[in-house]
Structure 1
Amino acid sequence: MKEYETDPTYIKALEWFVRIKDKSVTSADRIAFERWIEENPSHAEAFQRAEALWKRFDIVVPEYKQLKASGRINRRSVVFGGLTLLAGGLLLYNLSRNRLFADYKTDIAERRSFTLPDGSMVELGGYSALSIEFGAGQRRILLHRGQAFFKVAADPARPFVVQAAGGNTKALGTQFDIRLSGDSAVVSVIEHAVEVQGHDASSVTVDAGWQVSYDGSGIRAATQIDIETVQAWRSNRLVFEDVPLRQVITEIERYRRGRILLADSTIGDIPITAVFDTAQMDSVLVNMAETLPVKVINARGYLAVIYRR
């Protein structure tokens, strides 16, 4: 690992790089950035290192340009590309936070409940979004990101189906929860049952108190759940039991502004058992550094980096 990669100025430069490249950057952001650059010659040098890193990344940059040229980056979604931390000191950072024009959505750390046109209720967790397509013969929900709890109003003539991560969940009762995690979806049934259909059109019925997950490789075997633990996020708590750190970070980022990067991919395998208060996420990385074999740089900042201690 190069010495400058742990330099606070370099970390700050990476943070500015992320902000300036984001399409949501404001005029105030740009003015503040210019002032920061002018404060010290080392700031410009650190920013040049961050910019050079992006230019050397020959995977995401061409993909981003191709998406832009094809028109797939549009008002419905913006895939910006990214940088991700890899072992050996190469810092690449994932910026792919969709800007969806969804019907219902929440911001970072926000939790809201909505009543849908059919009388069904949906509660969205932090940084979540969905769209609805209701017609005469069906009620279809598209979960774009995050997590949602559904309490479905009865309407036998119009099935209630949630599309997420390439699969479909059809309500056979009233209450269930769906959480997106990368390219996979986790479906937990709170009351009655649902029918889950995977990418390959195979399907399985899941009863209350059980959970299944699926991705492009298919539907995994159902596992029994503790309903209170699954629903803890609805009471501003995130509960993890032997969950890999990389997955924990994905959930934390929906309740904490900024990004968290792993300096070593093996750190992501560390099992985490913890309960976090979503109202106090600013201190969660500080607590991790005190209890895990890791060191966290810029723990309370917009861009935090986790190293193995």
Structure 2
Amino acid sequence: MQDYATDPAYLEALEWFVLMKDEEIGDAQRTAFEEWLAADPSHVAAYDRARALWDRFEIVKPEYDRLHRAGRIGRRSALLGGLAMLVAAPAFYMLTRPGAFADYSTGAAERITVRLPDGSTVELGSYSALSLDFTPEQRRLVLHRGQAFFRVAAEPSRPFVVQADGGTIQALGTEFDVKVATDQIVVTVIEHSVKIQAAHCPPVVLEAGWQLSYGSDGMRSPVRADLAAVEAWRQDRIIVEDVPLRQVLTELERYRQGRIVLMDSALGDIPVTAVFNTRHTDKALQVIAETLPVQVLNAYGYLAFVYPK
């Protein structure tokens, strides 16, 4: 069966459909379109599919038109981009996720607990991926994406090291949490301590009850952790206090099938304080729409658009 997302005729049809929606199209382009349509019966079928896709896209079209009038985005590229996201995003999104071939991975709103060969356990959160590399000398794990809670079995002769985005976290005790966020890695120690090495910085020993993050710009100073908020994901909850909306949407996106598109970057700075159930993300978006100066539109269950009221 032909995959629409990679069907050349379908992709051409999308381009033609958007072009024909342009009020400034000329006679030469209309003639070229008619010739393309008549050149192959598959073109007619592809164009019909493009027209059907437009019906799905129609609910968010007014917002694209508003952005176009405001000069933020070109109309044709916006419409074609939106249609292309509806067609190709599911497959492309999954194939380009880090850790696509990891040893253990989870889907949207899925959690699993893995017992490792040494007796340690790892709880993987939603959209997470983990690889193992156990040798007689070392227990090395790579957290490609998402979040994981580690409970480490004592084995002094074989260090337990988690690698995440260029840094390493070595267990010096029992329990800790590692989260791969948008632009940083967040490490929280629940019991005992860990040693963190990242970004050419001196190693830091992080004690229980403390949290530290690192990224391409270096390592930040440790802060006291809200352990209830950190571990909330293990009870299907997200707890945020004065967290920017863009961060909240990024977090919610991990728990649903599809993308959440913030249509106005200025909205991203709005602070959010709330408790969300990760198994009901549409309800969470509804609460956001009811309590903040934003509107939320769902496009065929896969895309959610957030824009000003």
Length-normalised TM-score, structure 2: 0.72
**What is the CA–CA distance in structure 1 between the aligned matches of 2:120 and 2:50, rounded to whole Å?**
56
Counterparts in 2 of 1:222-301, with a 5 A limit? 222-298=222-298, 301=301
Larger Rg: 2
Question: One-letter code of the match for 2:148?
Answer: A
Question: One-letter code of the match for 2:207?
Answer: D
How big is the shift at 1:282? 2.3
* Worse-superposed segment, 207-216 or 225-234: 225-234
Moved beyond 6 Å, runs of 4+: 44-47
How big is the shift at 1:164? 0.3
Which of the two has greater helix per residue? 2
Does residue 212 (structure 1) correspond to residue 222 (structure 2)? The answer is no
**Corresponding position of 1:28:** none
**Corresponding position of 1:202:** 202
How big is the shift at 1:98? 3.4
Q: 1:214 to 1:88 in 2, by over 3 A?
A: same
How big is the shift at 1:41? 4.1
Identity over aligned pairs, percent: 52
Q: 1:218 to 1:109 in 2, by over 3 A?
A: same
How big is the shift at 1:202? 2.1
Q: 1:42 to 1:111 in 2, by over 3 A?
A: closer
Does residue 38 (structure 1) correspond to residue 23 (structure 2)? The answer is no
Q: 1:256 to 1:198 in 2, by over 3 A?
A: same
Q: Report if the CA contact (8 A) 1:87-1:263 is conserved.
A: no
Q: 1:226 to 1:36 in 2, by over 3 A?
A: farther
**Corresponding position of 1:159:** 159
Q: Report if the CA contact (8 A) 1:148-1:179 is conserved.
A: yes
**What is the CA–CA distance in structure 2 between the aligned matches of 1:271 and 1:299, rounded to whole Å?**
25
**What is the CA–CA distance in structure 2 between the aligned matches of 1:252 and 1:105, rounded to whole Å?**
18
SS in 2 for 1:285: helix
Q: Report if the CA contact (8 A) 1:184-1:215 is conserved.
A: yes
Counterparts in 2 of 1:117-132, with a 5 A limit? 117-132=117-132
**What is the CA–CA distance in structure 1 between the aligned matches of 2:47 and 2:112, rounded to whole Å?**
39
SS in 2 for 1:228: helix
Q: 1:40 to 1:146 in 2, by over 3 A?
A: closer
Q: 1:42 to 1:153 in 2, by over 3 A?
A: closer
Q: 1:257 to 1:89 in 2, by over 3 A?
A: same
Q: Report if the CA contact (8 A) 1:103-1:131 is conserved.
A: yes
Question: One-letter code of the match for 1:234?
Answer: R
Q: Which runs of 5+ in 1 are unaligned?
A: 1-18, 23-33, 48-85
* Worse-superposed segment, 148-157 or 93-102: 93-102
How big is the shift at 1:39? 6.4
Length-normalised TM-score, structure 1: 0.72
Q: Report if the CA contact (8 A) 1:37-1:43 is conserved.
A: no
Deviations 1:82-121 (A, max 9, x none): xxxx981365679453361111111111011010111100
TM-align CA RMSD: 2.8
**What is the CA–CA distance in structure 1 between the aligned matches of 2:109 and 2:126, rounded to whole Å?**
5
How big is the shift at 1:283? 1.7
- Identify which of 89, 92, 100 aligns with 2:73: 89
Q: Which runs of 5+ in 2 are unaligned?
A: 8-43, 58-69
Q: Report if the CA contact (8 A) 2:99-2:145 is conserved.
A: no
SS in 2 for 1:298: strand
Question: One-letter code of the match for 2:109?
Answer: A
**What is the CA–CA distance in structure 2 between the aligned matches of 1:179 and 1:35, rounded to whole Å?**
46
**Corresponding position of 1:116:** 116
SS in 1 for 2:242: strand
Q: 1:87 to 1:241 in 2, by over 3 A?
A: farther
How big is the shift at 1:278? 1.3
Q: 1:87 to 1:157 in 2, by over 3 A?
A: farther
**What is the CA–CA distance in structure 1 between the aligned matches of 2:45 and 2:98, rounded to whole Å?**
29
Deviations 1:141-197 (A, max 9, x none): 100000000000000011001000110001010000000012310000000001111
Q: 1:188 to 1:237 in 2, by over 3 A?
A: same
How big is the shift at 1:261? 0.4
**What is the CA–CA distance in structure 2 between the aligned matches of 1:263 and 1:220, rounded to whole Å?**
30
How big is the shift at 1:43? 4.4
